[in-house]
Amino acid sequence: MSRKYFGTDGVRGKVGTFPITPDFVMRLGYAAGRVLTRMDHHLAPGTKPLVIIGKDTRISGYMFETALVSGLCAGGVNVRITGPLPTPAIAHVTRAQRAQAGIVISASHNPFDDNGIKFFSAQGTKLPDEVELAIEAELDQPMELVPAEQIGRVKRIDDAAGRYIEFCKSTFPNALDLRGLKIVLDCAHGATYHVAPPVFHELGAEVISIGTNPNGLNINLNVGSTHPETLQKAVVENQADLGIAFDGDGDRVLMVDGDGQLLDGDQLLYIIASHRYERGQLEGGVVGTLMTNLALEHALGKAGILFQRAKVGDRYVLELLNANNWQLGGENSGHILCLDKHSSGDGIIAALQVLHALRASSLTLADWGKRLPLYPQVLINVKVAERIALDEHPQLQAAVKSAEDTLNGSGRVLLRASGTEPKIRVMVEGQDRALVQRLAEDIAAVVQQVAGG
């Protein structure tokens, strides 16, 4: 069944534009509450389901938190609110509190005037499809308040941030510390602003923090993993050993070495995978996506590490990891999953796994970065008049095959339709930048000819 409201990452959009409105969010809370009360949670008789609600630092978060609480309580569910916390922190608190679900109010790396609602299961993972579909079906029903004695209660969890800080620290080896490291943290004026600095400071690092003054309107504004140039400048100015940038809700991370060079998610994934493999601690292989740089695939293959690609999106990385019973995967955007440490992608925990590799190997981040120089990757977006079936045009297939023959295994061609815009994305990567650029332009010209625009 196709979904009406849920996308790959919950419900997201512009604040004030349906469905990101207070009345819809209240109804969403009610619908989720009714579905949760009908599910078999093995609760004691007369016990209400429990839902944890967290949010990032957007000004609209307060409004939507109140709406969600009202809807859930009206549906007969007890609620615990944490205030601003990273998305992966809510996954952790949901599991730790033995709650039946967790909800995060966030639009991740988007600007402040977007927002969204994302659900976690009791296991701290994405809600199963059948539960999302049941909530959507319930949204079509009239909202009828449960009897007064069954209305849910709401309480605040005062120490949620402290618990999460300790959880993050527990993923770093007891025998190691970060003493002697000067680290710049960029918290994107987002949900990690009061959590990330204590984690790295308490492990011994000298911490310089930027992007830690949220005002409700400045989340992701010229800071964080979507604007790493701010961190690159700060690392050089402060003569720091490295820098770490999170996005607004803390599930993505990028890093900067002491020379101000940016390392993306592919390079960070390589560091974690290589370090674990060299110590016999890598369970299975590594999962990337269709956009993962070919240099990572080649480097892992050379080391004897299995690698598979999932569709773009961290939910698909997670699905393939679970199917293979592997632990490590990620995207070049900085979503990195270490399933032996946490059930969801977590920027702080991923950064700690990279720092573990640095401390255990005595190599700097720059040293590690030089081990995996990324291949040039050219992406051209071709506007089209209407969606076309890419595999039904012989002319297009011939152009792709010609490019692949020219690359002869040293590069890669990817054609995919945008899921949100009338565009065909042409991506070519390889070791020769000029050749990659020419091949991408040649294929884009054929797409334009076949599809029009």
Cβ atoms of 197 and 212 closer than 8 Å: yes
415 and 308 together in one domain? no
Residue 397: give its domain's CATH number.
3.30.310.50
Q: Which pLDDT score, from 0 to 100, does residue 67 have?
A: 98
Q: Which pLDDT score, from 0 to 100, does residue 385 have?
A: 79
352 and 230 together in one domain? yes
The residue from 125, 158, 191 where one domain ends is 158
Catalytic one among 60, 108, 121, 333?
108
Collect all residues with Cβ–Cβ distance below 8 Å to 227 and sequence separation of at least 6: 220
In a domain, 308, yes or no: yes
322 and 180 together in one domain? yes
Q: Which pLDDT score, from 0 to 100, does residue 40 have?
A: 78
Strand, coil or helix: 100: coil
Parts of the chain with a pLDDT under 50: none
In a domain, 248, yes or no: yes
Strand, coil or helix: 80: strand
Cβ atoms of 257 and 272 closer than 8 Å: no
In a domain, 403, yes or no: yes
Closest CA to 431 of 284, 279, 294, 247: 294
The CA distance from 52 to 33, in Å, is 12
334 and 189 together in one domain? yes
The residue from 158, 190, 205 where one domain ends is 158
Instruction: Report H helices in 50-159.
Output: 60-74, 87-96, 129-139
Residue 294: give its domain's CATH number.
3.40.120.10
265 and 294 together in one domain? yes
173 and 307 together in one domain? yes
Tokens 């369970």 -> residue? 283
The CA distance from 233 to 231, in Å, is 5
In a domain, 4, yes or no: no
341 and 203 together in one domain? yes
362 and 411 together in one domain? no
pLDDT in tens, 297-337: 999 999 999 999 999 888 899 999 999 999 999 999 999 99
Instruction: Report H helices in 238-364.
Output: 265-278, 294-303, 314-324, 347-361
Cβ atoms of 422 and 385 closer than 8 Å: yes
Q: Is the peptide bond before 376 cis (omega within 30 degrees of 0)?
A: no
The CA distance from 37 to 47, in Å, is 10
Q: Which pLDDT score, from 0 to 100, does residue 1 have?
A: 52
208 and 149 together in one domain? no
Other C-beta atoms lying within 10 Å of the C-beta of residue 177? 14
Tokens 């998305």 -> residue? 87
352 and 413 together in one domain? no
226 and 297 together in one domain? yes
Q: Residue 430's domain spans which residues? A: 377-451
Burial of residue 77 (CB within 10 Å: 0-12, 13-18, 19+) is buried
Residue 194 is classified by DSSP as T
414 and 364 together in one domain? no
Cβ atoms of 13 and 20 closer than 8 Å: yes
Strand, coil or helix: 307: strand
Residue 389 is classified by DSSP as -
In a domain, 6, yes or no: no
Cβ atoms of 26 and 68 closer than 8 Å: yes
Closest CA to 167 of 95, 226, 235: 95
Largest CA distance in the chain: 72
Could you give the number of structural domains in the chain? 3
Tokens 């815009």 -> residue? 421
Other C-beta atoms lying within 10 Å of the C-beta of residue 420? 6
Tokens 């296991």 -> residue? 123
Cβ atoms of 200 and 242 closer than 8 Å: no
Strand, coil or helix: 380: strand
Instruction: Report H helices in 362-413.
Output: 365-371, 394-407
The CA distance from 445 to 436, in Å, is 14
In a domain, 2, yes or no: no
In a domain, 61, yes or no: yes
The residue from 349, 371, 393 where one domain ends is 371
Q: Which pLDDT score, from 0 to 100, does residue 2 have?
A: 64
Query: Which region holds residue 239: left if phi is over 0, alpha if psi is between -120 and 50, else beta?
Result: left
Q: Which pLDDT score, from 0 to 100, does residue 451 have?
A: 80
In a domain, 83, yes or no: yes
170 in active site: no
